[in-house]
With several copies, the nearest count.
Chain A
Amino acid sequence: MQVQNPFPLSRDELLTVYRQMRTIREFEERLHIDFGRGDIPGFVHLYAGEEATAAGIMHHLNDGDRIASTHRGHGHCIAKGVDVVGMMKEIYGKKGGSCNGKGGSMHIADLSRGMMGANGILGAGGPLICGAALAAKYRNKGEVGICFFGDGASNQGTILESMNLAGVWNLPVIFVVENNGYAESTSRDYGTAVDSYVDRAAGFGLPGVTVDGTDFFAVHEAAGAVIKRAREGGGPSLLECKMVRYFGHFEGDAQTYRAPGELDDIRANHNCLKILGDQLTAAGIISQSELTKIDEEVMVLIEHSVKEAKAAPFPTLADLTTDVYINY
């Protein structure tokens, strides 16, 4: 018996999306473990819990569409098609990593996939994506730019100025607020003086919409509309995705600022992967065993990436002083 697909994506696409979200999840869960073991140097900010937003938006994009990411960039990278093994090598500081070990977790980029870089400076992606969108306007092929930023970063002057600039120049940019309720340990409600990001957007003449960022289909639909609008010359808009973060702000954060039980509730009731899996199986178009098979394949991929990362050589003295300039 043929089951009707109630979703706006084909069965294959749905499997791909699920795989992508699971890949992000496993990538992050694994980093969490390996960081705890002391294998991983530096500051590491994990995207686990927020996968539906990256996947829901990136499903609409091609390599010619640019994204500017944040300090919490692994999910954006994977959803934008950056090679997972290269990423893992990068996080381990190895040669052959996405940035040859020079950037690390906070600076993974792949311009060939339209990924303009994770960024260690809050809000810095706002101006940069305006530039990408301006270039797109000159090329006139309907490409768009997406600027990701957190609820905390929403109060950086760069983001605010960029919303105005995007309006003034009518740029094909989507400002995506990833509202996970916290900036480090500080509640969103403390740091942001306005309740609704839709009002914030209106202050710059931008249409805004809020969605449940843990619901892939909600994000996918809302993003589809604003991206279509931007591609057609309708200009910038803002998309707020309400979401949850599974791990601490960075690895090592004990999260004592959360209410008792908050994390348990998040993992039990706001697990975007489980939500998607349930939606797919409930509709009867994908079976649990198919999902489990994907889960297993992803585990293999992540295990492989860690092995590769550990085996890869470190950069050498010769690498220290290259890549500063194109010529000098």
Chain B
Amino acid sequence: MARKISMKQAVNEALDQAMAADPTVICMGEDIVGGAGGNGEMDAWGGVLGVTKGLYAKHPKQMMDTPLSESAYIGAAIGAAACGMRPVAELMFIDFMGVCFDQIFNQAAKFKYMFGGKAETPVVIRCMVGAGFRAAAQHSQMLTPLFAHIPGLKVVCPSNAYDTKGLLIQSIRDNDPVIFCEHKNLYAHECEVPEASYTIPFGEANIVREGKHCTIVTYGLMVHRSLDAAAVLAKEGVEVEIVDLRTLSPLDMDTVLESVTKTGRLVCVDEASPRCNIATDISAQVCMHAFGALKAQIEMVTPPHTPVPFSPVLEDMYIPSAAQIATAVRKTIKGSK
């Protein structure tokens, strides 16, 4: 498996293989094909950043452009899922969830429970997340905690191309509604990815670096910032263990607790706003279930409690940095009971 592809290509390949394998898999979204109704090229866009480019040519019946009506088409994906299809709907930016959240959290997420178990809603909602694109306050949010909060939803946020492909295929095969979060600043990131179709199970975190002095729990882009911090810390003799959650719901607390039991220290890194986020979630669960193992306070590294600023200099300060993560690790290492 020497072939390297980008996370963007991994998404494309996963969709391609899933559609080829199962005709009930259909993709829908704004300009995911492009050029509809016009006199120029069809497949003119392949999504706003070209992620789905080329899929229309291969699966013309399974690729649908939509009007600019997220409530209607995300809801339609959900309704179709309840009627035997396996739709993959693209919500271009997760920031747009505010115009269609009801369909996701009150409908898709609750059907099975409200209907006494007699419903399946195998829908996937793909969306771009995260800051660093100079896209300002309404196109740069993480918002994963809002979805992880909701019982009935599954939430996935991969950090690399390999996980992306395996988790996206799993999301499509999964019978529950899945929010699949793609970090726009990781699309170009490459790694080795098998050509054949494969899945990665939900609820299995990945230890991307082993270490014994402190555990970092994180996901998405922050995995890479944490790796950078770990490299700096290693030079200081501090060996950090990094847990990449991969799926935020379900959550692999076993791996987290095991790691913290080993290292005795924890830093939670989250690109989401600080209040009620994934970092507080992990911290709280560790403090409840592995308090005895903790040698010092748990540190959290998050952006400040502000919207995402536009100006590149401000945005760079907004996003948690490797330096901030390293500082947090040093702090908990200095801390004690």
Contacts and interface: CB of A to CB of B under 8 A. Distances in A.
Interface residues of B, number: 82
A279 interface: no
B40 A111 contact: no
Contacts of A36: none
Contacts of B85: 131, 134-135, 138
Interface of B: 24, 26, 30-31, 34-41, 44-45, 48, 64-69, 71-85, 87, 95-96, 98-99, 102-103, 106-107, 111-120, 133-139, 151-152, 154, 174-176, 203, 250, 304-307, 309-314, 317-318
B112 to A, nearest CB: 5
A99 B113 CA distance: 8
Contacts of A165: 66-67, 69, 72-73, 76
Contact of A117 (B111, B175, B310): B111
Q: Interface centre among B36, B48, B120, B137, by most A CB within 10 Å? A: B36
Contacts, number: 311
A192 B65 CA distance: 12
Contacts of A185: 31, 34-36, 38, 44-45
Contacts of A1: none
A140 to B, nearest CB: 11
A102 B114 CA distance: 5
Given A131-B78, A161-B67, A162-B75, 9 more contacts: A110-B118, A120-B139, A130-B72, A153-B68, A164-B67, A168-B67, A184-B34, A191-B65, A323-B117
Given A99-B116, A317-B317, A104 B136 contact: yes
Contact of B40 (A43, A132, A258): A258
B65 A186 contact: yes
Contacts of A41: 134, 310, 312
Main secondary structure of the interface of B (DSSP, over half): loop
Contacts of A260: 40
B177 to A, nearest CB: 9
A314 B40 contact: no
Interface in A234-287: 255-260, 262
B40 A158 contact: no
A188 B37 contact: yes
B119 A109 contact: yes
A190 B113 contact: no
B127 to A, nearest CB: 14
B99 A158 contact: yes
A98 interface: yes
Chain A: interface size category: 35 or more
Contacts of A156: 68-69, 99
Contacts of B175: 326-327
A101 interface: yes
B102 A124 contact: yes
Nearest to B304: A321
Contact of B115 (A107, A123, A315, A320): A107
A131 B75 contact: yes
A306 interface: no
A129 interface: yes
Contact of A314 (B73, B79, B305, B313): B313
Interface string A164-198: 11001100000000000011111111111100000
